[in-house]
């Protein structure tokens, strides 16, 4: 069986990322595995990674662990950005009042 097209993956509800420069989907393939397919902008070729059914729970576990770390990193980044913005506002206010 040939690989599905992006239109077929979209119609099947398998898309996980669809933005400028990156497309990704997860779908059950005809060989009884779970396939992760991606393509980056400017490339003609789809890249495939197949996981056996018995490997999927570990993939999910590792994705969840990575997500927790990423969320904490994003929170710290946003807090630092907010603090920097507040500092800049205070500095501008001081300069304006001088």
User: What digits encode the pLDDT tens for the residues 29-61?
Assistant: 999 999 999 999 888 899 999 999 999 999 999
Q: What integer pLDDT is reported at residue 97 of this predicted model?
A: 87
Q: Would you state the structure tokens that stand for residue 11, as one six-digit string?
A: 């119609």
CB-CB contact of 16 with 34 (8 Å):
no
Give Cα 21 distance to the centre of its chain.
Answer: 12
Give Cα 42 distance to the centre of its chain.
Answer: 18
Average pLDDT over residues 56-70: 97
CB-CB contact of 7 with 26 (8 Å):
no
The pTM of this model reads 0.73
């Amino acid at each position: 069986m040939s690989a599905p097209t992006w239109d077929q993956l979209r119609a099947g509800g398998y898309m996980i990322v669809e933005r400028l420069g990156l497309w990704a989907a997860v779908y059950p393939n005809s060989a009884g595995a779970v396939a992760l397919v991606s393509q980056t902008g400017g490339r003609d070729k789809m890249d495939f990674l197949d996981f056996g059914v018995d490997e999927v729970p570990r993939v999910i576990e590792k994705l969840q662990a990575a997500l927790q770390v990423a969320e904490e990193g994003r929170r710290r980044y946003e807090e630092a950005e907010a603090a920097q913005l507040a500092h800049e506002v205070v500095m501008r206010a001081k300069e304006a009042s001088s």
